[in-house]
Amino acid sequence: MGISLLVIAYLIGSVTFILGLKMLSHPDTARRGNLIAAAGMIIAIIGTIFLYEKDGARLGNYAWIFGGLVIGSIIGTLAAKKVQMTAMPEMVSLFNGMGGACAALISMVEYDHLRHEGFIVNGGPVPAGTLIAIVMGLIIGTVSFAGSVIAWGKLNGKIKDFVFKGQHMLNMLLLLLMIGVAAHIVYWGAESSALMFYLLFVMAVVYGVMFVFPIGGADMPVVISLLNSFTGVAAASGGFLYNNPVMLTGGILVGAAGTLLTILMCKAMNRSLQNVLIGSFGASAQATPGIAAKSGGAYKEISLSDAAMVMSYANRVMIVPGYGLAVAQAQHTCHELEKLLESKGVEVLYAIHPVAGRMPGHMNVLLAEADVSYDKLQEMEQANEEFKTTDVVLILGANDVVNPAAKTDPASPIYGMPILEVEEAKTVIVNKRSMKPGYAGIENQLFYKPKTSMLFGDAKKALQDLIAEIKNV
Amino acid sequence: MNDILSWVFEHQQMIYIVILSIFLGVEVIGRVPSVLHTPLMSGANAIHGVVIIGAIIVMGQAKEDNYLALILGFLAVVLGTLNVVGGFVVTDRMLEMFKKKK
């Protein structure tokens, strides 16, 4: 009876995950989709706690289980509620790492358990499949954990890019070595030393770190998405281990969806996934900053009153938000500017590059927070059409996504990445804190174009001043 | 070789689930507008928190005198819960901002 109820609980769980993901794909239903998936998760968890049985024995250690659930829930809720909108990508990365660590810990305990039992299951030797599932959970979970922590540190600036020669080779070697050790553990089973297992763990930590370390620039979203799908696969290998369908469906769904999302992002930046896997973006980006920097030349600044003037008398203003907007928390001020200009009869639109900010859709989330309406957000293709008939483009802390080098300079590390073609507009005003290059570390020729003028300062401050000026016009 | 074949035979249902889920995952995500990419990634992140079920099983089966299993299992439950709860709450917070505007 109990066990059949559990089957139903798992069925509900799996269906809600699928429904949830599907509903997340529509703005109208997304929030409900998330809640439905959460409800399914709760049903699956409660079912497991009270109904799961193995060889007729129920689970024990309820105090430990509930203790862990309560502690995790409290910390998780607090962290998720308190986090600033700008720090959202880091938070997701960190939560992802927790999931990976969880999968790795499960593998460790199960391996230790097998060792205690002398590698005998149901009277026979351990099937290779079980060992494969354990080893996979360990490797993928650990890599995801270590990688996510590094990604988290990089996004909040605690960890700097770190590149050395031959890094790819070392990563590849390490990967091969890990596969070798894993094969050894699976093949030799009981005769393999427990030391090998812990060696594998250490190697996976090192690999995870080395994997994310050299990656910088606009590529962090890709990495988080990829690690997200890794954790999915790690969860699925747990499903294999316990013959547990809900872990399997949940894990594989995320693994597949995450991989697709990753590939879509890679395409948007003209990278191959293989390139990501051996961690090579940052390396090429760092090798070239000197070249473009020399050819810089003179840029011109625009005064606040001039900027206010051009914008007030424009027919259409396109705002290009970037990470600078997020850092300055200027989304509300930006919305204010938009309303002010509209009241003066200026059409205001936003041009959103798919990888602007630190995560795909980062800008959409930020602007949505400030109540900017959807239909004002133009995706890249639309926006590139609109620029031709736009009077003023106001760039707020975006850099690499408007860098013309992506179109004109084959030597540039971002060559081939689709960009927002802001030069098509009549005037370009760039708000930046300084002339420093963007996250990818590449000089931007756009800033030296005759059409372009610079408005230096923190995005929020600059927008506030701009609003005050426009009111005076 | 025989080992592998018999393993495939015993786990054929799981293998089917895996393959079908891969297609399903790709299909479901394929239609997501880029506006929702961040919440989607975050939502998917919460869903792989289903790994918590494995942690609960490990914890529930740990013998009372096996401190390694108890401690690691407990840690796994805490981390898994963080992933699930944090993931869903963060996603909800993001989506809260997508309320329909007039």
A253 to chain B: nearest residue by CA? B25
Asked if the structure places residue A266 within a domain, the reply is: yes
Q: What is the mean pLDDT of residues A103-129?
A: 86
Per-residue pLDDT tens digits for A136-146: 999 999 999 99
Residue A290 included in any domain: no
Q: Report the 10 Å Cβ neighbour count for A429.
A: 25
Q: Which of A75-84, A182-191, A355-364 has the lowest mean pLDDT?
A: A355-364
A248 in the same domain as A113: yes
Report the CATH number at residue A341: 3.40.50.1220
Q: Tokens standing for B23?
A: 């297609």
Is residue B71 within 8 angstroms of chain A, CB to CB?
no
Catalytic machinery residues of A: 400
Mean local confidence (pLDDT), A282-306: 59
Q: Give the range of the structural domain holding residue A154, as residue numbers without chain letter.
A: 88-285
pLDDT of residue A237: 94
* pLDDT at residue A3 is higher than 70: yes
Q: Using 50, 70 and 90 to split pLDDT, how confident is the model at A287? A: very low
> Do residues A78 and A115 lie in contact, with contact meaning Cβ atoms separated by under 8 Å?
no
User: Which residues does A20 contact at the CB level (< 8 Å), separation at least 6?
Assistant: A33, A34, A36, A37, A38, A40, B43, B47
Range of lowest pLDDT (A85-94, A100-109, A232-241, A289-298): A289-298
| pLDDT tier for residue A173 given thresholds of 50, 70 and 90 | very high
DSSP state of A397: S
A161 has pLDDT over 80: no
Last residue of a domain, one of A82, A105, A135: A82
Q: Which of A434, A422, A415 is CA-nearest to residue A288? A: A415
The model's confidence at residue A285, banded by pLDDT at 50, 70 and 90, is: very low
Contacts of A34 in chain B (CB under 8 A): 39, 43, 46, 88, 91-92, 95
Query: pLDDT tier at A409 (50, 70, 90 boundaries)?
Result: confident
Confidence bin at A166 (pLDDT 50/70/90): confident
Q: Is the pLDDT of residue A440 over 70?
A: no
Quickly list DSSP for B76-99. HHHHHHIIIIIHHHHHHHHHHTT-
Taking residues A162-177, report their average pLDDT.
83
Q: What is the mean pLDDT of residues A232-253?
A: 94
Quick: pLDDT tens for A250-265. 999 999 998 888 887 7
Distance, in Å, from the CA atom of A184 to the CA atom of A74, rounded to the nearest integer, reads 41
Per DSSP, the three-state class of A241 is: helix
Residue of chain B minimizing CA distance to A78: B86
pLDDT of residue A289: 42
Asked if A252 and A315 sit in the same domain, the reply is no
Residue A7 in contact with partner chain B when CB distance is under 8 A:
no
Percentage above 90 pLDDT, chain A: 42
What is the C-alpha to C-alpha distance for residues B11 and B16, in angstroms, rounded to an integer?
A: 9
Looking at A203-212, A290-299, A334-343, which range is the least confident one? A290-299
Show which of A285, A306, A327 is a domain's final residue: A285
Report the pLDDT value the prediction gives residue B98, as an integer from 0 to 100.
67
A374: chain B residues, CB-CB within 8 Å: 35, 101
Helix (H, G, I), strand (E, B) or coil at B23: helix
Select from A287, A267, A274 the least CA-distant residue to A216: A287
Are A245 and A393 part of one and the same domain?
A: no
Residue with tokens 């203790």: A67
Q: Are residues A201 and A236 in the same domain?
A: yes
Chain A hits for B37, Cβ within 8 Å: 261, 354, 359-361, 364
Do A331 and A203 belong to one domain? no
Q: Give the pLDDT score at A438.
A: 67
Q: Which of A49, A82, A115 is the last residue of a domain?
A: A82
B34 closest CA partner among A264, A401, A390? A264
A125 and A27 in a common domain: no
Strand A53-54 with A57-58, pairing: antiparallel
Closest-CA distance, A191 to chain B, in angstroms, reads 18
Average pLDDT, chain A: 86
State residue A269's pLDDT score.
64
- Residue A215, pLDDT > 80, answer no
So what's the ipTM on this one?
0.92
> What pLDDT digit, counting tens, does each position of B12-69 carry?
888 899 999 999 998 887 767 766 778 888 999 999 999 999 999 999 999 888 888 9
Rounded distance between C-alpha atoms, residue A249 and residue A239, angstroms: 8
Cβ–Cβ gap A91/B30 under 8 Å: no
Mean pLDDT of A398-413: 82
- For residues A252 and A202, the answer to whether their CB atoms sit within 8 Å is no
- Are the C-beta atoms of residues A438 and A399 closer than 8 Å to each other? yes
Residue A294 banded pLDDT, cuts 50, 70, 90: very low
| C-alpha to C-alpha distance for A386 and A120, rounded to whole angstroms | 68
Residues A99 and A226 in one domain: yes
Question: Do the domain assignments include residue A291?
Answer: no
Q: How many structural domains does chain A have?
A: 3
Residue A67, pLDDT score: 95
Q: Give the pair of three-digit tokens for residue A400.
A: 């690499």
User: How many angstroms from the chain centroid is the CA of residue B18?
Assistant: 14
A:20-49 residues touching chain B, CB 8 A cutoff:
20-22, 24-28, 30-31, 33-35, 37-38, 41, 44-45, 48-49
Q: Residue A289, by phi and psi: left (phi above 0), alpha (psi -120 to 50) or beta? A: alpha
Taking residues A342-357, report their average pLDDT: 88
Does A292 reside within a domain? no
Same domain, A381 and A451: yes
Rounded distance between C-alpha atoms, residue A39 and residue B89, angstroms? 12
Angle at A401 between CA A469 and CA A211, to 5 degrees: 130
Same-domain check for residues A305 and A268: no
Q: Are A171 and A210 in contact (CB under 8 A)?
A: yes
Which residues does chain B have within 8 Å of residue A65's beta carbon, measured at their own beta carbons?
Answer: 56, 59-60, 77
List CB contacts of A82: < 8 A, sequence separation 6 or more. Answer: none
Residues A400 and A419 in one domain: yes
Residue A123: pLDDT over 90: no
Count how many pairs of residues, chain A against chain B, have C-beta atoms within 8 Å. Answer: 375
* Dihedral (CA of A169, A171, A172, A176) sign: positive
Sorted by where each begins, the domain ranges of chain B are: 1-31, 35-102
pLDDT tens per residue, range A47-97: 999 999 888 888 889 999 999 999 999 999 999 999 887 788 889 999 999
β-pairing, A392-396 with A316-321?
parallel
B23 to chain A nearest CA, in Å? 8
Residue A392, pLDDT score = 92
